[in-house]
Chain A
Amino acid sequence: MDFGYTIWIFVLPILSFLAIGLLGTRPALTGRSELLRGRVWGWIGTGAVFGSWLLALVTAYRYFFVLGTPDGHRPVVFGAKWVWMRFSEHLSFDMGILLDPISVMMLVVVTTVSFLVHLYSTGYMAGERGYARFFAFLSLFTVSMLGLVVATNIFQMYFFWELVGVSSYLLIGFYYDKPSAVAAAKKAFIVTRFADLGFLIGILILSYYAGTFDFQTLVSAGGPVLGGPAGRSFMGLSVFGWALGLIFMGGAGKSAMFPLHIWLPDAMEGPTPVSALIHAATMVVAGVYLVARLFPLYHEVDGGAILRLVAWTGGITSLIAALIAMTQEDIKRVLAYSTMSQLGYMMLALGVSGLHGHEGLGYMASMFHLFTHAMFKALLFLGAGSVIHAVHSNLMRDMGGLRKYMPVTHLTFLVACLAISGIPPFSGFFSKDEILAAAFERDKLLFVIEYAVAGITAFYMFRIYFGIFWGRERTYAHTPHESPAVMTIPLVVLAILSVLTGLVPFGEYVTADRTPYHGHINWPLALASIAVGVVGILVAKRFYQRPNDLPARAAEMWGRWYKWTRDKFYIDEIYQFVAHKIMFAGIAAPVAWFDRHVVDGFMRGLGWMTETFSLLIADLQSGRVRQYAFVFMGGLIALVLLVLFVTGLLNG
């Protein structure tokens, strides 16, 4: 079956990026025409991604339903594959399109969310300065993300990995005249760049010892990593173990895992549709996707030592993020921490997974949660954007009682909150239940953490839900109104998807060994998780539905703990301390002093010596010809005498 047309999924957004970026941002070209200054650029971008979306859906249909499982498991197909740079006989960088269950699923997720966010942005960004620039960056991001998910080899993945980092940087700093946005963009770029250093070193170690970049060769059972001898080891881990650990560092940076998460909350400085697309649904799951892509290696190498690291990183991140999310005032930050927490779930699910059959439940659950989370978290962000659009503030204390003014936003937001809280029949219930089941079978302590996090999640999501749409009635400067149709239609579509995606029999399509697996719901666990979700919701309802003094009293009671979570466990301050006191004052400042005084001093000393000596002998050049003639004559006579003396002629 031919999948060659899949190249068009990329070409369309590339064309729209070039068209909008090259033509739309030129005042000389667009200044005269009302049409060109207006929404036409938004519609070009949206149209291109719409085309990609249709193609991705066709691809998914053909891959999952027409191609099916020819020999019992789902095949790996190449839509395209070519050598990009050839260095030698054995070393070349390839580019291509690899289609397997997870990449096809990601194609659908990325194009769906991207299309809806494009559509939403045509309304949300209307009248903003830099409208065309925004859509150019959005298209660039879409291309990069699509290139990342279909990467045939780890080098191509790294290439697009950095491109999504760049587009994320550009979009976080979209309001570049706002200092906080610029700082956030830099922070995001530097923190992820730091993590990517680990990723790069990991890639180099892995491909040096394995001799290939290619994913198919790397993960194959008889391949260079899994088939060969364990190789030499260093500090208890084999070289491949170290490589995988370093690669996971890159993934942890991109997916905002503790302790590399500090950039994600600040990234909320970007426009809200950007937060929905990049920092909730697609880019931040790249780390999870990376681990899933190399999953057989993580599972086998060093007896799964790195996989346990993945599981615990995920577990700790989800707990910390959930605790912080409970006390934040800015609704976008609550959503950012909630994203971190859910990403922790996905990592943990991968970490407790096995390879085959029922053992592989965690892998399936992780991808399932990735899929459902993309839908309901994008919905939450777009809903929050709609609210922010109406009240012109991010802060919960400026909101309240909005359900009367914004019915569509209210209902869709409620759907998303129920989905993330794990209430059936909304999608989050199904995926989260699978994760809890997988954790329960592998590690009881992690299960307890995740179970608690499920309750906390329900609490903080309904805290902001009640805080925004119920709570105290406000008097607004101008009455809030429902957003225009281009903004509410994506909300409704995502709400429908948030309900329906849970019903997909995901194990049929995506599993660790690409063999269909017939999952079933573990009802005792499911009932327990529903119970904790409902408890969380009820507590939030009691606290925040109507104004009362319970929240204040609770804050009083928890005292120091409340302050700790509100100040985000002082992790930013720790980074600040390490960066300023240790790295700047302890290392950078002495090195700078050495550079300024010793290195520069040496060079300046050379200049000073030359200058002083020159001034000393400058008077020899008197300008008087006769003096020169004397010296010349004297020198000549001296030379002649010297030659005569040396050759012995003077002595006869």
Chain B
Amino acid sequence: MIDGVGVYDIVAVATIVFFVGVFGFLTRKNLISLLISIELMLNAVVVNFVAFNKYLYPGRLDGYIFSLFVIAVAAAEVALAIALIIALYRLDNSIEADDMDSLQG
């Protein structure tokens, strides 16, 4: 671990990254951008996992293993999401999130 960098700094960075993702998710209209925002949020979580594992339970590996899982799941999710987005594009000729409202009540 880098000297002089405390857990608070790392958590602060992770929080900033997370809320950048939240902001992106709420403001962007393009589905690809939304996907990227989600990835930002996930990565913030992964950083938290690693940081807390290091500082709270140094002798254990749970946090690292979770991180690996999250990365694997994120990869699978991206593959699936891209496939869906392509399918939607072929259907509507658009990837604007606000156009996708066929599930309304």
Contacts and interface: CB of A to CB of B under 8 A. Distances in A.
Chain A bound to chain B: yes
Interface of A: 618-626, 629-630, 633
B26 A622 contact: no
Contacts of B29: 626
B104 to A, nearest CB: 3
Contacts of B25: 626, 629
Interface in B1-35: 22, 25-26, 29, 34
A633 B104 contact: no
A621 B101 CA distance: 10
A621 B103 CA distance: 8
Nearest first, the 10 closest Cβ-Cβ pairs linking A and B are A623-B104, A621-B105, A623-B101, A623-B103, A618-B105, A624-B101, A622-B104, A626-B97, A624-B98, A621-B104
Given A623-B104, A623-B105, A625-B97, 6 more contacts: A618-B105, A621-B103, A624-B98, A625-B34, A626-B97, A633-B22
Contacts of A626: 25-26, 29, 34, 97-98
Nearest to A617: B105
Contact of B26 (A618, A620, A629): A629
B93 interface: no
Contacts of B100: 623-625
Contacts of B103: 621, 623
Contacts of B105: 618-623
Contacts of B34: 625-626
11 contacts: A619-B105, A620-B105, A623-B100, A623-B101, A623-B103, A623-B104, A623-B105, A624-B98, A625-B34, A626-B26, A626-B98
A598 to B, nearest CB: 34
Nearest to B31: A625
Interface centre among B29, B103, B104 (most CB of A within 10 A): B104
Contacts of A624: 97-98, 100-101, 104
Contacts of A618: 105
A626 B38 CA distance: 13
Nearest to A619: B105
A619 B103 CA distance: 11
B35 to A, nearest CB: 12
Interface centre among B22, B25, B105 (most CB of A within 10 A): B105
A623 B102 contact: yes
Contacts, number: 34
Contacts of A629: 25-26
Nearest to B27: A626
A622 B101 contact: yes
Interface of B: 22, 25-26, 29, 34, 97-98, 100-105
Nearest to A636: B22
A626 B25 CA distance: 8
A619 B22 CA distance: 25
A633 B19 CA distance: 11
A365 to B, nearest CB: 86
A620 B105 CA distance: 8
Contacts of A621: 103-105
A397 B101 CA distance: 86
Contacts of B104: 621-624
A563 B25 CA distance: 98
Contacts of A623: 100-105
Contacts of A619: 105
A626 B22 CA distance: 11
A479 to B, nearest CB: 85
A623 to B, nearest CB: 3
A145 to B, nearest CB: 69
Nearest to A614: B105
A636 to B, nearest CB: 10
Nearest to A615: B105
A615 to B, nearest CB: 10
A623 B104 CA distance: 4
A638 to B, nearest CB: 15
A629 B34 CA distance: 11
A40 B98 CA distance: 84
Contacts of B98: 624, 626
A432 B22 CA distance: 108
A622 B103 CA distance: 7
A637 to B, nearest CB: 10
Nearest to B101: A623
Contacts of B97: 624-626
Nearest to B104: A623
Nearest to B29: A626
Nearest to B105: A621
B100 to A, nearest CB: 7
Contacts of B26: 626, 629-630, 633
A622 B34 CA distance: 18
A146 B22 CA distance: 89
Nearest to A624: B101
A644 to B, nearest CB: 16
A624 B102 CA distance: 8
A206 B100 CA distance: 79
Nearest to A625: B97
Nearest to B25: A629
B81 to A, nearest CB: 12
A629 B103 CA distance: 15
A625 B98 CA distance: 8
A623 B97 CA distance: 10
A622 B25 CA distance: 18
A633 B26 CA distance: 9
A629 to B, nearest CB: 6
A633 B21 CA distance: 12
Nearest to A620: B105
A625 B34 CA distance: 10
A98 to B, nearest CB: 74
A568 to B, nearest CB: 69
A622 to B, nearest CB: 5
A619 B26 CA distance: 20
Contacts of B101: 622-624
A28 to B, nearest CB: 56
B62 to A, nearest CB: 26
Contacts of A625: 34, 97, 100
B44 to A, nearest CB: 15
Nearest to B103: A623
Interface centre among A618, A621, A623, A633 (most CB of B within 10 A): A623
